[in-house]
Amino acid sequence: MNAPGLSDLPTAYLDYLATQRRAAVLTLENYRRDLQRLEQLAAGRPLLELDPHDIRRFVARLHGEGLSGRSIARVLSCWRGLFRWLVRQRGLAANPVDGIRAPKSPQRLPRALSPDQAQALLDPPAEGALEVRDLAMFELFYSSGLRLAELAALEVGGGLDPAEGMITVTGKRGKTRTVPVGAQAWGALQAWATVRAGIAGADQPALFVTRTGDRMSPGAIRDRLARRARAVGLGVHVHPHMLRHSFASHVLQSSGDLRAVQEMLGHASIRSTQVYTHLDFQHLAKVYDAAHPRARK
C-alpha cells in the first residue's frame, strides 16, 4: 500500500492492516491521516522513542487546535493500534498510548421540534388502520415523553389509567414512573383501541401491533415515525428520542418546573435533565432576578 508522507513503520503498519486485517479503504485513509498527524507532532523524533509524556503533549496540542474530544479519541485509537503492533512486531517495551484518554466532549443535545412542527406532525388525520395506530403512538410519545423501549413494551390494560388520565411505565433499571397523558393522546389511543380489535389476536398482549397482529418492534416504530414526518413534509428527520426531547423542552419552556420534568422523564438526577433539555439561560437569569430575594436591588 502506498502511504505518501509516512516513514517506514507507519507504512508497514498500514500494509498489515490492509493485507492481514482487511481494513476498509476509508478506514485506511483515516488511519493514514492520523499517522501523518502523529509524525508531524513528533517533529522528526523516532516513533519508537516516544513516551506517554509525549502523547499527552500531542493530545493537548490537538485539543488546543480545536479538535473535538471525539476526534481525538479516534486519533488515539489509531495511535494505540500502531504502538500495539510495534510491541508485537518490533519489540517495543510498552505502548505509550495505553491509559491516555481524550478530553471529554460536551454532550450533544438531541434536536427538538418546535411547537409548530409538532403540530404539523400530529395534526393531519389518519388515513387507514395503520395510520390510526401510528398517530396513537406518536401522540403518546409527545404527550408523555416516553422512551422508545417503554412505548414498545406497553400492553393492553397495563399501565393505562383513563380515569386518572395517567400512564405507568417501567423505565431504565426497572424503575417505574407515572406520567400524565394529554387529551389528544387519549383520543388517539381510543381510536386505535377500536381498530386494534380487528387486527390483534385475543391472546396478543401488546398495545401496538403490526398489520399481522404481532408486537411492534422498536425499529418498526422508528421507521413509521420517520415515514410520517416525510409524508407530512416536515423537512427534518424525526425519531422517537426527538419527540421525547420535544416533550421535555416544551413543558419546561411553559412551566419552568425542572423538577417536574425530571420526574416525568424518569431521570434519577436533576443533572441529567439539565443536560437533556436545552435551557434558555437568559430566561433562567430573568427568573432568578425576579424570584430570589437576594437578587433584587
172 in catalytic set = yes
Task: Tell me the DSSP string of 20-34.
Answer: TS---HHHHHHHHHH
C-beta of residue 148 within 8 angstroms of C-beta of residue 221 = yes
Phi/psi zone of residue 204: left (φ > 0), alpha (ψ -120 to 50 degrees), beta? Answer: beta
The catalytic position among 63, 111, 222, 241 is 241
Question: Is beta strand 160-161 parallel, antiparallel or unpaired with respect to 166-170?
Answer: antiparallel
| Residue 90 designated active-site | no
Name the 3-class secondary structure at 128. coil
> Roughly how many angstroms between the first and final C-alpha of the chain, as a whole number?
71
Question: How far apart (Å, rounded) are the C-alpha atoms in residues 40 and 61?
Answer: 11
* Interstrand relation of 176-180 and 166-170 (parallel, antiparallel or unpaired): antiparallel
Catalytic residue at 244? Answer: yes
Q: Which residue among the candidates 90, 172, 175, 283 is catalytic per the annotation?
A: 172
Is residue 241 annotated as part of the catalytic site, yes or no? yes
Q: Which of 32, 177, 244, 250 is catalytic?
A: 244
Determine which one of 32, 133, 147, 224 is catalytic: 147
Choose the catalytic residue: 13, 31, 142, 276.
Answer: 276
Q: Is 276 an active-site residue?
A: yes
CA distances from 192 to 89, 130, 145 (A): 64, 9, 19
The residues, any chain, with a CB within 8 Å of residue 240's CB and separated by 6 or more, are 141, 147, 148, 151, 221, 222, 225
Segments of 110-229 assigned E as strands: 160-161, 166-170, 176-180
- CA distances to 63, 148, 153, 154 from 168, in Å: 45, 14, 12, 9
Residue 47 is given by DSSP the state G
Compute the distance between CA of residue 85 and CA of residue 71 in angstroms, rounded to an integer.
Answer: 22
163 grid coordinates:
380515569
Catalytic annotation, residues: 147, 172, 241, 244, 267, 276
